[in-house]
Chain A
Amino acid sequence: MALPSESITINLGPQHPSTHGVFRLRVTLDGEVIQDIEPIFGYLHRGTEKLAEERSYTQIVTLTDRLDYTSSMINNQAYVLATEKLAGLEVPERGQYLRVLTAELQRVASHLMGIGFFLQDLGAMGTPLMYCFRERERILDLFEMVCGARVTVSYMRPGGVNQDPPPEFWPGLKELLSDLPHYIDELERLINENEIVLARTKGIGVLSRELAIDSSISGPNLRASGVAWDLRKADPYDVYDRMDFDIPVGSNGDSYDRFLVRVMEIHQSLRIVEQCSKDIPDGPVRADVPYFFRPPAGDAYAHVEASKGELGFYLVSDDGIAPYRCKIRAPSFINLTALTEMLLGWKVADLMVIFGSLDVNMGEVDR
C-alpha cells in the first residue's frame, strides 16, 4: 500500500551560509528529492545600468568594479573595450599587456575564491578555503602595489590603464610566479583525489553539452560540459592573440569537472602572466583621452572571457558625455538559466554542491 505523500516547499533564504551572496531559492521537495525550484534574486540590485546613464564614461569604470566584485579587473577590461570600440580609441601596447596581465591575475584570484568556497560548502571545515585565501592575499597585495586598492581596483581607463606599475611590482610578480604553482599543486594534492570529494561531486549535477549551449552558459561551466569555447581564443582582444595557453575542457559536465576546470585554468592563467611579464614593451600606458570625451553617436558591444563566463557591455551613445544606455550581459545571471534542469531529481544534500560548482556571484546577477 503506497502511503500518500505531498511535497513540501522550503525556503533557502537570502541569508544562508552556503548561497554565495544573497540568493533565495524556494525548493519543492518530495522527501529528499528536489521536485522544483524557484530562484528569487534581486536582493543586491543597485541599479548599475541606470546609474551608468548619469555618469561619464570614465566614471563608469568605478561602477563596473562592483559588478562581480571578485573579479574587478576583468569587469573593467570588458567595459573599457566597449568604450574604445564606441569611440574608436587606440590603446598603446604597454597598456594592452598590462591589461592582460592584471586580468589574468584577477582570474586566478577569482577562481581561488570559487574553489575555496566550493570546498567550504562540501564541509571541509575551512581548511582549503584558508589555503586559497592565503594565496589570494598575495595577488591582492600585488594589486595594491599597482593601483592602490585590493578589490575595487578601477585600474583601467578608456584608452589604456591608469598608471604604470611601480618598480617593486615586477620582482613581486616574479616571486609570486615562482611560488604560486607549488601552492596550487599542494592544494590539488589535498583535494583532487580525495575520495570524499570524488564521491560527493562525481556525477552530481550533470549539465549536458546540448543544454549548456542552448541555455547560453559560458565560461568554465560550458567548458566542463565538453564545449571547447573560450573567448580569448575565439574572439581575441588586447594581446591574447600573442599568448600561448591551453584550454581545459571537461567531458562529463558534472560538478567535479567544473571544479577541476577552474583549478586547471589557474595554471594556464599563470602561464599567460609569465608571458606578459616577459614580453611587455616600454611605452605609454594610456592613450591621450580627455576625461569627459564624447564618442560619436552609435553603439558598440564588447565581450571578454570573465572568470564566470562571457561578460559583455553594450553601450549606446547619443553624443553626450554619458552613455544613453549601458547594458551588461552578466555571465552569472545567464548561467543560472539552466539551474532548474541541473537541480531536478537530485537530493537536498547535492543542492549546495551543484550550486557551489556553478560559482555564481550575486553582484553580477543582480547588478
Chain B
Amino acid sequence: MAYGLGIAKGMMVTLLNLTRKPVTVQYPEQRVTQNPRFRGEDFVWYEERCTGCASCAKYCPQGIIKIVTAPSGEQTQEGETYKIETFDIEIARCMFCGLCVEACPYDALHMGTGFERAKPRRSDLVITVEELRASAKRPSTWFRPQLQNRGYDPAKGEEVPWQEAGRESTVAPTYDDMLKRWVEGR
C-alpha cells in the first residue's frame, strides 16, 4: 500500500461525513425522545394504593426513603392501611435504580420521567409527601408491564388514574377466582 493512501482514504471519510445531518439535539429547545421505560426523577405515588408497608424503604440500597405512618382508622376489616405522615425521598443520593418501584407490592410507587430536578440548595433536594401528592401522575412503564402492555407513553401527557395503575387492572379476577380466594380458601 503506498504511503499516503491511508491518509487519502481517511480524508474521504471525513468529507463524506460532512454531508451527513448533524446528530446534535439543541437542548433545551429540542429534547431527546425518551423511551417510556426511562427511569426518571419525578416519582409518581398513588396515595390511594399505598398501605405504608415501607417495602420501598427496605429495598432501597441507599436507604434514602423515610416513611413515618400513623394508624388511619380506616379499612379496619381487611387489615389497616396506614396514614402516611412522612414520605421523604432524598433525591440527592438517589441513583434511580428502581428497586423501590420493583419492591412495591401494591404498585403505588412508580418511576417518573424527568431528569431536571436541579435545585440551588441541598435541602430542596428532598421530595416530600406533599410534593408526591401534588405531582402529575405520569408514571414510567419501568417494571410495570400493565402500563406497558396497554401502550402507555408518559411523554404524551395523559395521566394514569390510580385505578388503572396496578397489575390487577389488567387481569381482573373472575367471580370464581374471588369465590375460591375469599370463601373457599378460609
Contacts and interface: CB of A to CB of B under 8 A. Distances in A.
A–B interface present (Cβ within 8 A): yes
Interface of A: 55, 58-60, 62-63, 127, 131, 134, 137, 141, 144-149, 152, 154, 162-163, 166, 186-187, 189-198, 291
Given A148-B39, A194-B10, A162 B95 contact: no
B23 to A, nearest CB: 6
Contacts of A62: 61, 95, 97, 99
A154 B62 CA distance: 14
A154 B96 CA distance: 10
20 contacts: A55-B61, A58-B59, A58-B99, A62-B61, A62-B97, A63-B61, A127-B14, A144-B38, A145-B35, A147-B142, A148-B140, A154-B97, A163-B143, A166-B141, A186-B13, A189-B9, A189-B13, A190-B10, A190-B13, A291-B103
Interface residues of B, number: 36
Contact of A166 (B3, B34, B37): B37
Contacts of A190: 9-10, 13-14
Interface in B1-42: 1, 3-7, 9-10, 12-14, 16-17, 23, 34-39
A144 B10 CA distance: 33
A194 B148 CA distance: 48
Contacts of B12: 189
Nearest to B140: A148
B7 A59 contact: no
Interface string B155-186: 00000000000000000000000000000000
A194 B7 contact: yes
B71 interface: no
Nearest to B148: A166
Interface string B84-112: 00000000000111110011000000010
Contact of A193 (B5, B35, B102): B5
A162 B37 CA distance: 13
Contacts of A149: 38-39, 96
B14 A196 contact: no
Nearest to A59: B61
Nearest to B97: A62
A145 B37 contact: yes
A195 B4 contact: yes
Contacts of B114: none
Contacts of B34: 144
Contact of B17 (A63, A131, A191): A131
B95 A198 contact: no
A186 B17 CA distance: 10
Nearest to A146: B37
Contacts of B9: 189-190, 193-194
